[in-house]
A and B are shown apart, each in its own frame.
Chain A
């Protein structure tokens, strides 16, 4: 190649090199700082809300929990033990202090430390949510990708209509109704699978299914739409111009871009899955946080309710943050774009 010198090029090069940002101006540092700040604020709001919850309840929560027949002395003793007679700011400080030292208070009903109750119940819920999430992703991403390729511009109009309609209908069915239907078919009629508890591996099948079918339908739909859009992009034409194999174009060039957009919406889905465990656990008598929070609400065992709300909320926040971070890893532009 001949090298006719073009001074303009060299000039442009040197100026762009000189403008290299310092480390604290690096996009990823700014991104991490912003994201950490947002997480902190959200956690603070969550903690304050869960503290406020007990004070927003009309009447005396302890009297409510112990019932109208409980002796006044007992109620008073419990109130003191809970610190409910202190001024509000003091109570708030105690609450925060407790959180930092891992003290979530004592159950009004069982008198057990709330930390123990949560610790005992958390693993079952976590297992359910994680498995359901993995199951829905494992089904939705390949399905959505495949359908995206099949229904790309100029292809598969009928397939598209059939899939879109089916997925809307499936996604509308609430998880607890899917659960009831699954109990009926596989538990009552066929008797193949256990419908209560988490004692065996088979016992996981139905709860995980009921929790993951709806989100899988939504996610597959999102992935398909994103895939179709991405396959129209200029850079896919570039990939075709490089004469890459179709599989490489679809999986290496299109899919990551489709997933970055799908992830944002998928994150919300994952958050609602965390909450969805509450209903599904109650269908299947799953010994997790979901069945505990419902019985605690009914028993007016407020410290336990407070703690579980906090745990669920934290779960959602962590999931959202994880989604943002993986989004940034997949698509570096999002770090800059996001405000």
Chain B
């Protein structure tokens, strides 16, 4: 529950939005009119003037007169009270009946409870006006009947709402505890549940009051509500519309009144609901919240990775100084900060790092798939000698569509749920290779078969949800094979899969690579997977490559303290599984708060003053490996890697303390 302070703040939030403020002002005006209307204009509203009937607007009668010469404006203002009173009565009936019906399943339980909730479900399916007509017949024409009709017609919606809210609260621990303690259901409902659901009910009742007002004027407009000589806005409208050709204002004035009052309730209710609930944010919330240090990050010097040797002929993908920047509420954030590497024909390059290291974004950036709010910059970004920083063109799309295959992490969400698998594959061929539908489908079946989807012809006609996780991922790979890929970019392709099928997918990727000399960029947080499949490993930390080393040398020749920690954290065959798994102490760097100097310094046992001041460049060694560390290869103090048990203790320490500790 919100504290009073928080509540006051949220109310202020509601009232400072233009819509919320307008609605509140309108509501106050309506309330004032409800009280004062009949007092101020009661006499003039009833003053009959037979010499001046059905007059058009004049300085005397701003909205003209009705068929007895009574002033329309005065009558409209006076009618505020009756209209409001009736609407409030109706919504009270609706909430009361809704509460009874909604709480009944909880109180009655068992079969009777289920019957009530089934009845509510049937009733909710019918539009309110239809229910209102039904009850209007039963309760008879007139104001009282209409209050009951509008009220009961609104009850099912409130019943459904109450039911949902009660179910939520009843599931909470303290309510269950009270149950166990033998407190009766009715008592629990009154003492624990109702106070907790009051807030959403009141907000919905406010919106509902607007609806009741509109519904009531509808009934009165039909002649089924308020009867002459009493009048509400609907009744005035009913009288006015018959004279619309003589004096349009007679219909327009009460119509406008209904509209404004209805809008006031609706907009106020909506603003309150929005202010007290969770506001809908467009864009990535996690990026927004990181805005604070974003400006600082943007100003930080762009690290330039040590240039790999001049691109050789067989280079498929060439990346230099790649950056990805996202806008945030307060500036920008740069999760990829200058990444350079090459991928050769048939080579498998692994990219490892913790989440937030920028590895997936790097993969998306080299495939031109970063979401549109992000900006990709690069000194050089070439794939098969095409410039990937060039604007979109049909030729570029065709080239990428047939030569670059993507495999994503979650095959469940990566297939379109409403399209058959075969069609989704075939699309590549119809879009880029000029094949007809049937031909393209034939190729799709063929490719599904080649990734060992059993009974591919039948499977191609199925929807993604009919496939198992492993099959979906193989189908995704098959989709990449629709063209003739030179490069497969696989972003955590096995993470979302069962352990039992992970190996199949990795084997399949390895096979494809071996068969056609296809290059592979494999993104993973799992060092073991990368070491198994890849030739070379790029280790990323805080948006930069910190080490580039051959997969074979990963265990023995890694120079960077972070790489060595990653390797040490991997359980070996001979690791005693009873021992807790080793982890790297400290937390990964938040892309919005990249520190000056070496980003790893806060967690690095070798860090010194220079590390915290200057960012080490990525330097190439003679054997072609690269590393970014001032103390590359220096022996690490024991223990480099702490066990998970130690970590809990370490986390309690401030990060600085951790580094300063002797």
A 176-199 to B, binary, CB cutoff 8 A, 1 in contact else 0? 110011011001110000000000
Most B CB contacts (10 A, CB to CB) among A238, A271, A282 go to A238
Which residue of chain A has its CB nearest to the CB of B18?
A: A165
Please count how many residues in chain B sit with their CB below 8 Å of the partner chain's CB atoms.
88
Is B515 at the interface (CB under 8 A from chain A)?
A: yes
Contact check, B282 vs A42: say whether CB atoms are below 8 A apart.
no
| B577 contacts A by Cβ under 8 Å | no
| Contact A320–B125 (Cβ < 8 Å) | yes
A276 and B129 contact, CB distance less than 8 A: yes
- Does residue B182 face the partner (Cβ distance < 8 Å to A)? no
Q: Residue on B with the closest CB to A234?
A: B413
Contact (Cβ within 8 A) B406 A238:
yes
Q: Once bound together, how far apart are the Cα atoms of A234 and B412, in whole Å?
A: 9
Contact (Cβ within 8 A) B418 A180: no
Looking at the assembled complex, report how far the CB atom of A78 sits from the nearest CB atom of chain B, in whole angstroms: 18
Given the known inter-chain contacts A16-B468, A56-B138, A154-B283, please indicate yes or no for A244 contacting B19, CB distance below 8 A. Answer: no
Distance, CA A114 to CA B410, complexed state (A):
60
Q: How far is the CA of A189 from the CA of B249 in the complex (A)?
A: 12
- In the A-B complex, the 6 residue pairs with the closest CB atoms: A154-B373, A13-B454, A243-B401, A275-B127, A234-B413, A275-B129
Stretch at the interface among A90-98, A118-126, A134-142, A308-316: A308-316
Q: B427 to A244, Cβ gap below 8 A?
A: yes
A157 touches B282 (CB 8 A): yes
B357 to chain A, nearest CB (A): 20
| C-alpha spacing A184/B367, complex, angstroms | 58
Interface residues, chain A, CB within 8 Å of chain B?
1-2, 4, 6, 8-10, 12-14, 16-17, 41-42, 45, 49, 53, 56-58, 151-155, 157, 160, 165, 168-169, 172-174, 176-177, 180-181, 183-184, 187-189, 228, 232-235, 237-245, 248, 252-253, 256-257, 260, 268, 271-272, 274-276, 278-279, 282-283, 293-294, 297-298, 302, 305, 309, 312-313, 316-317, 320, 330-333, 336
**Residues of the A chain whose Cβ atoms lie less than 8 Å from the Cβ of B414:** 234-235, 237-238
Query: What is the 8 Å Cβ interface bit string for chain B, positions 413-442, against chain A (1 contact, 0 not)?
Result: 111111100001001100110000000000
How far apart sit A234 and B476, CA to CA, in the bound complex (Å)? Answer: 13
* Listed residue (A53, A241, A316) with the most chain B CB atoms within 10 angstroms of its CB: A241
**Minimum distance in angstroms from B217 CB to a CB of chain A:** 8
Partner among A41, A56, A181, A272 whose Cβ is within 8 Å of the Cβ of B122: A41
Binary CB contact string for chain B from 529 to 573 against chain A (1 if under 8 A, 0 otherwise): 000000000000000000000000000000000000000000000
The answer to whether B224 touches A298, judged by C-beta atoms less than 8 angstroms apart, is yes
**Bound CA–CA A57/B533 (angstroms):** 80
Q: Judging by beta carbons under 8 Å apart, are B138 and A298 in contact? A: no
Which candidate, B83-91, B252-260, B308-316, B630-638, is the interface stretch facing chain A? B252-260
Residue of B nearest to A160 (CB): B282
Q: Among B241, B327, B455, which residue has the most Cβ atoms of chain A within 10 A?
A: B241
Inter-subunit contact A243/B400 (CB<8 Å): yes
* CB atoms of A294 and B122 under 8 A apart: no
Taken together as a complex, chains A and B put the C-alpha atoms of A235 and B408 apart, in Å, by 10
Contact A332 B255, CB 8 Å, known A2-B515, A238-B415, A298-B141: no
Report the Cα distance A106→B515, complex, angstroms.
Answer: 82
Using known A-B contacts A238-B414, A331-B417, determine if residue A297 contacts B122 with beta carbons closer than 8 Å: no
Report the nearest A residue to B452, measured CB to CB.
A9
Name B249's closest neighbour in chain A (CB-CB): A184
A243-B418 contact given A174-B262, A274-B127, A279-B218, CB 8 Å threshold: no
Are B222 and A294 in contact, with the CB atoms below 8 A?
yes
> Does any Cβ of A come within 8 Å of B140's Cβ?
yes
